[in-house]
Amino acid sequence: MKMSKSIKFILFILMFVSAGVRGLAAALAKPPVESMSKPNIVWLFSDDHAYQAIGAYGGRFQKENLTPNIDSIAKEGMLFERAYVGNSICAPSRATLLTGKHSHKNGKFDNRGGFNHDQQQFQKILQKSGYQTAMIGKIHLNGAMQGFDYWEVLPGQGRYTNPQFITAEGKTEYKGHSTDIVTDRALNWLKTGVDSSKPFMLMIHYKAPHRNWIPAERIMKKFRKRTFPEPESLFDDYQNRGEAANKQDMSIEKTMTMKSDLKVVPGSDRAKYLEEHKLEGKDLIRWKYQAYMQDYLGCIAGVDENIGRILAYLKESGLDKNTVVMYSADQGFYLGEHGWFDKRFMYEESFRTPLIAKWPGVIKPGQRNSDLVQNIDFAETFLDIAGAPIPEDMQGKSIVPLLKGETPKDWRKSLYYHYYEYPAVHSVRRHEGVADGRYKLIRYYGLDVPAGEEWELYDLDTDPNEMKSVYDDPEMARKIKALKAELERLKKQYDVPENGGQKIRQHSQRGGRSAKPDKLSFSFKKGAVPNNKAPYIQGRGIEVNVAFSYSGSDGVLVAQGGASEGYALWVKDGIPQWTVKRTDEGTTIAGGNKLSSGKHSLSVVQDKKGMAVLKLDGKEIAKGSVGWSFKMQPHDTLSVGIDSGSPVTDYGKSKRYTGDIDQVEIKLLK
């Protein structure tokens, strides 16, 4: 039977409508386009990675091919030429990363003491917005992490070799190099911990290249044979600068240690070289610089190699198509500039930090941005990428418009900086300042600063290495007035109280040593002693006396400092122990016999050269060298009956002392 043309037409219309209904139903069954398009975020973060040690940034290491994988992120995305921090030191920078606030607002002024995890943090908001969140590696903030579905972090500074990790369930040790292990754990989470129906935010934080710069063995062998170019200011004499630059304690010449930093130990190739060549003066400084660069840049190469592993997995799994990858560091670092290592100053090498990002379909490849960006912007940026609400009390701005190639008309024209940790390790005076991209005005204030206040001004166009302050140049009077007004405007904008709101510790003018008495004697409830009562032990010998009762319980009697620098007088398996830590390396001397039950007096006397004598009830039970004196003031405070900061050593189960501690006496020795 033949159908008429009209019937055929009607059937065609019915089929078309039916197909449309099925298509509409299928479309309604799929997740909304918005939820499917929310990008994943992978935040790659290292410790103390100088921007000048990244090939994509140019400079003297550009031809060394140290960072091909990090460079590839810049090639496929955007490099920020003027990214900075608000406080150039590890823990405060990480607190700013999580909170989007300057130190005076998040409460983390320096590396000492704790961090309030209960406060608002960006990852908590991401969780509420449907994101899975994970943090793996170094965070350097004491206490349990919050706002992360999964977290696995290094305790304190962490170890380079066979690192321990802390999770919500406890502590685990992994065999291998820290950089490799952090990557292994991150890949493990990506492969087994991710719910594919949700977007994720993963923070991968490397310990490297933090002091004391230990590369993986496979990399160390290659880099020990390499020679690297020197900076122009390696032999800076600090003329035309103020007290702070002249009185710091972070020089390659004087501060860098042979044993721990440069691994000059008996029988090593470096020890043999020095024994043979008898280097002095500038020749020795040049040798130390090369040894430093071999180890530091070897650590960088290890980080880059492992970032290559992360990038490769994202590509293999197809996740790269909808994942924002960002790389940065907690601040910059001195690689011999001004003859220094470390950070802290508002000078460019430590004030400035690397920031590189790629975002497929959003960032055009090969872009370079010259807007002023600061680490107070990172939290807001993550929230903006995720389409999550940005709290009004966060102090930065999302850089998403910049990533899209658009600079808002109201984008900042200046930056505020404030460094607080003094008196402390490296003896960098407290200072605050303002920078507008060309001019930088710095105000040093407080302890050990002439007249209580000292100013420096730099013109980066004419003096990019910051070798001469022009604050006293009459021609700069108008510019200084404008910058001081801008500094006050920024302090008002960020609600900065006087001196940043941190109480200045009492201190003398005698070589940076504390004005507190040379003898402290107190009865104190177990726990942390207030920082203003803790002894300032830098450059001193020390005598510690403890009166206590023993009934079979082990633990810490007295501890000051933490995983980087410090000491602990403690009991393990009934045997008294004296442990001294410096730059992640510890030495212990221990008594031979077990304690008997009852009351005891335990004392240790350690001189400025590091020779220690341990006595029990007035009788010597151990003697030996711990290898060094206290050249640096520990970050963490003094504590009794427990080590309240990052641990000086691995106490195992012998951490909190449960017996009675009757009296503690500490004497500082000349």
pLDDT tens per residue across span 577-632: 999 987 656 789 999 899 999 999 999 999 988 899 999 999 999 999 887 677 66
Residues 6+ away with beta carbon under 8 Å from 633:
423, 424, 425, 536, 537, 538, 565
Cβ neighbour number for residue 34 with a 10 Å cutoff: 8
Q: Spell 353-366 as b/e; 16+ CB within 10 A means b.
A: bbbbbbbeebbeee
Confidence of residue 4 (pLDDT cuts 50, 70, 90): low
- Across the range 20-27, mean pLDDT stands at 43
Task: Say how far apart CA 390 and CA 380 lie, in whole Å.
Answer: 6
Distance CA 422, CA 111 (A): 11
Terminal-residue alpha carbon distance, the chain: 117
Rounded to an integer, the average pLDDT of 320-328 is 98
377, 383 Cβ separation under 8 angstroms: no
At a CB cut-off of 8 Å and minimum separation 6, what does 151 contact? 134, 135, 136, 145, 167, 168
pLDDT tens-digit map of 107-158: 999 988 789 999 999 999 999 999 999 999 999 998 899 999 999 999 988 9
In the predicted structure, residue 652 carries a pLDDT above the cut 90: no
Least confident interval from 72-86, 461-475, 559-573? 559-573
DSSP 528: E
The size of the chain, in residues, is 670
- Residue 23 pLDDT: 44
**The pLDDT value given to residue 524:** 58
Q: What is the pLDDT of residues 482-499, one digit of tens each?
A: 999 999 999 999 999 988
> Each residue of 61-110: pLDDT tens digit?
999 999 999 999 999 999 999 999 999 999 999 999 999 999 999 999 99
Domains of the chain: 40-101+115-237+248-385 (3.40.720.10), 519-669 (2.60.120.200)
* Nearest residue to 349 (alpha-carbon basis) of 465, 467, 210, 471: 465
Contact assessment for residue 559 and residue 643, using Cβ atoms and an 8 Å cutoff: yes
The pLDDT value recorded for residue 636 is: 73
| Percent of the chain surpassing pLDDT 90 | 76
Cα maximum dimension of the chain: 120
pLDDT digits (tens, 9 = 90+) for 280-320: 999 999 999 999 999 999 999 999 999 999 999 999 999 99
Cα distance between residue 16 and residue 10, in whole Å: 10
**pLDDT (0 to 100) of residue 537:** 84
What's the pLDDT at 535?
Answer: 82
* In the predicted structure, residue 506 carries a pLDDT above the cut 80: no
CA distance 586 to 607: 17
Structure confidence at residue 22 (pLDDT)? 45
For residue 454, give both structure tokens: 């000292």
What SS3 class is residue 572? Answer: strand
Whole-number percent of the chain with pLDDT over 70: 89
> Which range in 510-514, 532-536, 557-561, 646-650 is most confidently predicted, on average pLDDT?
557-561
Which pLDDT score is estimated for 21?
A: 43
Position 583 scores a pLDDT of 60
Mean pLDDT of the chain, nearest integer: 90
Tens digit of each residue's pLDDT (9 = 90 or more) over 210-252: 999 999 999 999 999 999 999 999 999 999 999 999 999 999 9
Lowest mean pLDDT across 1-5, 105-109, 390-394, 568-572:
1-5
Q: What is the Cα–Cα distance from 359 to 486, expressed in whole angstroms?
A: 34
pLDDT band at 15 (very low <50, low <70, confident <90, very high): low
Angle between helices 281-317 and 178-192 (to 10 degrees): 10
Residue 446 or residue 5, greater confidence: 446
Could you tell me which residues come within 8 angstroms of residue 469 by beta carbon, excluding any fewer than 6 positions away?
240, 241, 242, 456, 457, 458
Both structure tokens of 385: 């990428």
The residue behind tokens 């389409």 is: 387
Q: How far is CA 469 from CA 240, 434, 463, in A?
A: 6, 14, 9
Give the pLDDT confidence of 177-191 residue by residue, as tens digits.
Answer: 999 999 999 999 999
Evaluate whether 182 touches 299 at the Cβ level (below 8 Å). no
The answer on pLDDT for 34 being more than 50 is no
